[in-house]
């Protein structure tokens, strides 16, 4: 299958942004093996090193679970590369970012991973694909007040919020 985008370029942009920032730390969660490529999967944390008297909230931002939706990946990379966008929030919020959950899908412009799985439909499975296991483990290690997965919809103008919550009040109202 032909590559449409380069995940290596994503990794380079992440490393460059982390290297320029005192507020950003990077953790390698693991690697996804997809012959002949090994894709590293990262978790990034944006957090102020200054002491805060306020109890900080934890927010999770993730993208690229569907490889054919690159806008979310680009949005998170742009955020990482632009400290002026996130620094004003750091006294109140710690951000955890998963910039590209599906590296092989991202490179090959497919919704699914290299094994043909729609990762977005595997988080409730006992033995999910490795991409999901890595992210799920990182999600379970922290409590988030808000978690947002960035998707792209070529059929709809503007943006909308799809909320998984059974009781009101809803955040999106």
Tell me the pLDDT band of 171, cut-offs 50, 70 and 90. Answer: low
| Stronger pLDDT, 3 or 40, i.e. the higher one | 40
pLDDT tens column, 84-131: 999 999 999 999 999 999 999 999 999 999 999 999 998 889 999 999
Crossing angle (nearest 10°) for helices 7-20 and 71-80: 20
CA distances from 69 to 19, 80, 106, 112, 150 (A): 27, 18, 8, 11, 9
Q: Which pLDDT belongs to residue 173?
A: 59
Nearest Cα to 115, choosing from 102, 134, 98? 102
Tell me the pLDDT band of 170, cut-offs 50, 70 and 90. Answer: low
Tell me the pLDDT band of 172, cut-offs 50, 70 and 90. Answer: low
d(CA 92, CA 114): 38
Q: Which pLDDT belongs to residue 1?
A: 74
Tell me the pLDDT band of 140, cut-offs 50, 70 and 90. Answer: confident
C-alpha of 108 from chain center: 18
Reply yes or no on whether the pLDDT at 52 is more than 80. no
Reply yes or no on whether the pLDDT at 66 is more than 90. yes
DSSP per-residue string spanning 66-100: STT-THHHHHHHHHHT-HHHHGGGTTTEEEEEES-
């Amino acid at each position: 299958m032909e590559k449409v985008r380069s995940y290596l370029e994503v990794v380079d942009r992440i490393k460059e942004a982390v290297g320029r920032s005192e507020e950003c730390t990077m953790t390698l969660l693991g690697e996804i093996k997809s012959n002949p490529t090994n894709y590293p999967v990262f978790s990034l944390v944006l957090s102020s090193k200054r002491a805060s008297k306020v109890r900080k909230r934890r927010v999770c931002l993730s993208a690229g679970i569907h490889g054919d939706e690159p806008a979310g990946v680009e949005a998170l990379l742009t955020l990482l590369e632009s400290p002026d966008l996130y620094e004003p929030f750091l006294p109140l919020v710690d951000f955890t970012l998963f910039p590209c959950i599906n590296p092989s899908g991202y490179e090959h412009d497919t919704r699914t991973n290299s094994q043909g799985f729609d990762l977005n439909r595997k988080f409730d499975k006992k033995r999910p694909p490795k991409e999901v296991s890595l992210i799920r483990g990182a999600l379970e290690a922290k409590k988030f007040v808000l978690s947002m997965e960035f998707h792209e919809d070529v059929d709809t103008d503007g943006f909308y919020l799809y909320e998984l919550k059974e009781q009101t009040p809803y955040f999106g109202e």
